[in-house]
Structure 1
């Protein structure tokens, strides 16, 4: 359901007494608001912290909620969970995105061969394709790369000069053209396949990388791509170590995007990554990066979307979490198949984010890059499957 529809429903229900509007929260631990829903909606339990007014009931209903259970701080729930969204935001006037763009994949390819050979196992973004997207209004690009190629052998080792030069050239091309470039170590919280547990070494790694880009104000640091199946406190501590290392490197003007456990999924964020609200940055430039796909298991591996409303349904809980905690977020990866149902779901997702632009700063499509071929979501101009089907829609959301 598009956010414009949600807004009109919420407005018409504003005068209802003791009844929550469509999609609004109606229960959960500590909830003191309405516990009934407007006609046609029922208060559906999602977890001990959230219940929500969902379509399906002919009359208002009530729900008793537990006040004893607690959410574990060591959850390792995968985004492949089928958990439903758990809260809905307060609708705000439509705004404008700060950032809207695409991921640039390639430098992280060939992750079963290290260090690998440029042009054979991995590649870097095509500047001409990037310029095409910039020319159409896209203003942010998330450039994936490999930690193992940046600092071979150890987290605290020296930089690989050739790899870093090529990465830097790509970043500089983007920023010199006026867009933002996100440095994305695409490692899933792992180094050579092993979960990173040494937060001090991780801080050193980020300090080394950040020194190379400290003077470029249009660079954004993404702490790590899609932590998953990890201790939740470790995810918190790794994110904080990255922030500390980046700021200690003299990179004080740039934004830092932090990611969460459970593949950084938006649809489980407010039940999995709640402790990340404790992250601190002396520059107050943290943005919470979440990813969201619209297929049945949320993995982003299918051209089929669950429904035309699944885009909104999977992010409303994250919207509520951001607003309740005074945070800002971005959807760092999203995509849908090249079909009308997915297009409607994608538009609904983006309309919702834009309507709630007080907490959502933008979104990036997954993914552009010169080696995608006929990949189902490929956004590389001029002939990528996702690009040819979605560009006319997506460029209407550019800042």
Structure 2
């Protein structure tokens, strides 16, 4: 049955490649580790940071996850601005892509830098004198060229959660980067997050101008993040009762982003969401949220998983081989033909269009 799933998914991947504007992405998971250790950049591999192992990919693929996000740091793929890409770091990204391809999984690559680059312990905003826009375009042109042969890259997410940009225009940065990537890759989707940490609840306030971004290949996907705590941070520092949550909180928080997509005829993705495992009352909130996304033909990626998430309350990573509580809800929305025959039939129909 697993082999059948991989064959069906492979056909679906071909369809996604051919019809990017009408495809609906499956739900995914962010596999973390490569973006860890920000106090030590570039840091030492296997000490300050890691990359996901094949066993982790296999676990989630067996659950029906057919899209995985890989967060990574700019400072590790390019130790100095304008320098050649680090061969070892790029090799680690390529190994992850290959492992995912061999398991029938698509990938979104996510530069996890919050619109900054760290030098000598100090972060500088893209567009500043220290980190010119030209430098950001340089790294993405090199990455897009280097990774172009991989057919299982669904999207290049140019930057995770830009915020507090001050005088530097995130719109201009995004537009220039789209233009640069298209010089070397005209097929891959380009994913654009928004200012104010790409928050779904205030997307139309901080990011309405992004609807004017132009892509000569018309393949932009807008990526918002949505957490259900009161400050929308995903830290969940208060208890369920203190947060004053109800079963529809997730729906209410993501609705402004989905409404914006509908009004402007744009494609979207919710690249981060998650709930704590320490109170089962969060699970219906997650369920209603996922049901609402599905009803609106929007998917997303759970935040997060990875073997170094030891005590992280949102972690979807299995412990001693046992599923986390959130997986009981999330599994219902994953594309697993072994457990959901309707999804298997849907994949066959889609692939044959």
Q: CA deviation at 1:167?
A: 1.6
TM-score by length of 1: 0.72
Structure 2 counterparts to residues 272-291 of structure 1, below 5 A: 272-291=206-225
Query: Does residue 374 in structure 1 map to residue 311 in structure 2?
Result: yes
Q: Which structure has the greater CA radius of gyration?
A: 1
Deviation per CA, 1:337-357: give whole Å up to 9, x if none.
122321111111111111111
Q: Which has the higher helix share?
A: 2
Matches within 5 A, 1:1-399: 98-154=25-81, 156-192=82-118, 193-197=123-127, 198-219=132-153, 220-231=155-166, 234-249=169-184, 251-302=185-236, 304=240, 306-338=245-277, 339-357=279-297, 360=298, 362-383=299-320, 387-399=323-335
Deviation sequence 1:172-219 (CA, Å, 0-9, x none): 211232111111110000001211102222111100111111122221
Structure 1 CA distance, aligned partners of 2:187 and 2:56?
A: 28
TM-score by length of 2: 0.81
Change in 2 beyond 3 A, CA 1:320/1:355: same
Deviation at 1:367, TM superposition (A): 0.6
Contact kept, 8 Å, 1:368 with 1:380, in 2: the verdict is yes
Q: Hey, what's the Cα distance between the residues in 2 that align with 1:398 and 1:97?
A: 13
Structure 2 spans left out of the alignment, 5+ residues = 1-22, 336-353
CA contact (8 A) 1:218 1:254 kept: no
| Counterpart-to-counterpart distance in 2, 1:175 and 1:307 | 39
Q: Distance in 2 between matches of 1:323 and 1:232?
A: 30
Aligned-partner Cα distance in 1 for 2:320–2:171: 40
Secondary structure of 1:210's match? Answer: helix
1:266/1:292 contact within 8 Å kept: yes
Residue 384 of structure 1 deviates from its aligned partner by 8.7
